[in-house]
Chains A and B, each alone.
Chain A
Amino acid sequence: MADLVPLMLTVDDDAHLLTLVNHYAKRWGYAHQTATSVRQMWQRLDKVTPNVILLDIQLEDGDGTALVPELKQRFPHVPVIMITADATVQAAVKSLKNGAHDFHCKPLNFDHLRIEIDKAVEHNRLLLQVKGFQGAARRTDFHGMIGQSEMMRTVYRLIETVAPTDAAVLLLGETGTGKELAACAIHECSKRRDGHFVAVNAPAIPHELIESALFGHEKGAFTGAHQQHIGFCEQADGGTLFLDEICEMNYDVQAKLLRFLQDHVVQRVGAKSSKAVDVRVIAATNRDPAEQIRKNKLREDFYYRLSVVSVDLIPLRQRHGDVELLTRYFLDLAAAKYGRDMSSVCPEAMDVLNSYDWPGNVRQLEHLIDRIVITNNAAKLTAEMLPPEIREASPGAHLEAGSEFGESGEQSIPSISQMERALIVKALELSNDSVPAAAKQLGLSEATLYRKIKKFGLTRSFAKG
């Protein structure tokens, strides 16, 4: 798990004691917040979710022991350690029965307290990790791929059909659409699943080393070849070789791979003999193959050999309904990775995420959620946590901005075209994607609305009736 600074919240009505605990918390490597009353504690908890709470029993405006059940209900994974100057067995029993993690008497022994806090935070971290991974595992729909949109279901069906064969597969799709995940799914659904899945990212390997990386070399084959190396093609024997970004490979390497695809034989650099291997090849590119062939970046014969079956991975903006699933999945995963308890998304934030275009596709969404979880220790993902470029790109943002023109002279004014697009999106949303209903709301004919939908590239499948 990534090492994020754990947050400790101490609730006590003595400011001097809070200062002292603050001094120790920082010394122990914790971020620390304090509250001097129950009211202030809830205010803090509206904004952050700590990893551990130190709670005094006698507070100005409430009894700490009585607060524990509500705290446990709202933050089930956050351990609560009671601190009190009234060291009675009854108080301790009552606190623990109510769900407190531990009970400490004043005077506070900071050595003991540190051990207990560290243990409690570790406990919290493990609980969050289990919860996150369980949630993420539950959301996986098809061999690690997530998405229930009709387009993704078509992809799953195609993968299931092609996987049992040994046919070469070419995966096409924009960057971040999950080409490696799809290759993995094909491998997992095939009879080769017990063999190796070897992924080769061609652009990451220097041109002068790619032949050796793919086919291997013998000791002494060239300067620097101090020992024998088994290449990726041989490593994948009995399994699957995934060649990513094939258009970035130079022509010579493409020719050698073409020969390998035809003969299924590898000859290590510097070797006298060759070896037959049983490898299934899956390749991928984020470029248009036809265009790359025209530009002499992709050999036509290599392309035809690889594209026995082509699978198009769909850009996220066209996967209607999948953004929400993916957001929840990545939220679970990030919460587990970084020990955070952020488990829900507010509807406004989800609206913004749903209406964004996602040029970086699923990977962009994953990185965004990671960043939000790292930088916000809160229970809920809110619209304010989203970066301005995403908030401002959502059609709703223009509509909201439009409604404030009269109040703020500093608002940037969207173009008529942006406003028109935003209104159409809003009307379609309000009419559940029914074009006739949306056209009626907008005062347009259906044909005009269809023309505008096409013009603005609103590519979702809209109901005609």
Chain B
Amino acid sequence: MTNREDTYESESVKEHRRKWVKLKAKYLYALPEEIAHIELSLSKKDYAPAKKCAHRIKGTSATFGFGEISRSAARLEQLAASHCEQEYSGAVNEIMRLVEHEIRLLDFQRSPDLDRNERDANG
């Protein structure tokens, strides 16, 4: 394999990583609003939309690599399915805490990561 192909390959991988980080961040920043929607639905005892929303988060967050958020969403889905009123606020707080933690982590990681990518591209 020639050097040019190596460079092309790594550029493509870098581009993919940059895009992945971007999509992940976009998803994470959108989650608090979705969780607020679940909380509102549960407070109104409107269980079906809450369950659907929690189910969606369960699948997509796991695909983005947020295993703990996914498990927490699965718990919320179960609570909504069983119309369990007592425990939902604890579960909502828990998932929100996990999301905020991931956002902080991502914000912390993102800038140096992008700087490093820039350095790689230039040198």
Contact = CB atoms under 8 A, between A and B. Distances in A.
B70 interface: yes
B116 to A, nearest CB: 21
B43 interface: no
B20 A17 contact: no
27 contacts: A13-B56, A14-B59, A16-B23, A16-B30, A16-B60, A17-B60, A19-B23, A19-B26, A20-B23, A20-B27, A20-B63, A20-B64, A23-B16, A23-B23, A58-B55, A84-B59, A85-B56, A85-B58, A85-B59, A85-B62, A106-B58, A106-B59, A106-B62, A106-B63, A107-B63, A107-B65, A107-B70
A13 B56 CA distance: 8
Interface residues of B, number: 19
Interface in B42-101: 52, 55-56, 58-60, 62-65, 67, 70
Interface string B10-43: 0000001001100100110010000000000000
Given A27-B16, A106-B60, A106-B62, A16 B26 contact: yes
A178 to B, nearest CB: 47
Closest 4 CB pairs of A and B: A85-B59, A107-B62, A106-B59, A107-B63
A84 B30 CA distance: 21
Contacts of B56: 13-14, 85
A19 B26 CA distance: 10
Given A20-B64, A60-B52, A107 B59 contact: yes
Main secondary structure of the interface of B (DSSP, over half): helix
Contacts of A108: 63
Given A17-B60, A85-B58, A85-B62, 16 more contacts: A13-B56, A14-B56, A16-B23, A16-B30, A16-B64, A17-B59, A17-B63, A20-B63, A20-B64, A58-B52, A58-B55, A84-B59, A85-B55, A86-B55, A106-B62, A107-B67
Interface of A: 13-14, 16-17, 19-20, 23, 27, 58, 60, 84-86, 106-108
Nearest to B58: A85
A14 B20 contact: no
Contacts of A106: 58-60, 62-63
Nearest to A22: B23
Contacts of B52: 13, 58, 60
A23 B63 contact: no
A443 to B, nearest CB: 68
Nearest to A13: B56
A85 B67 CA distance: 13
A405 B31 CA distance: 57
Nearest to B22: A23
B77 to A, nearest CB: 9
A14 B67 CA distance: 17
Nearest to A26: B19
A20 B21 CA distance: 11
Given A23-B20, A58-B52, A16 B27 contact: yes
A309 B52 CA distance: 78
A222 B79 CA distance: 92
Nearest to B66: A107
A262 to B, nearest CB: 62
Contacts of B23: 16, 19-20, 23
Contacts of A20: 23, 27, 60, 63-64
A203 B56 CA distance: 66
Contacts of B60: 14, 16-17, 20, 106
A82 to B, nearest CB: 12
A17 B23 CA distance: 9
A90 B83 CA distance: 24
Name the residue among A19, A27, A85 with the largest chain B CB count within 10 angstroms.
A85
A60 B56 CA distance: 10
Contacts of A86: 55
A340 to B, nearest CB: 29
B68 to A, nearest CB: 12
A304 to B, nearest CB: 64
Contacts of B30: 16
A382 B19 CA distance: 39
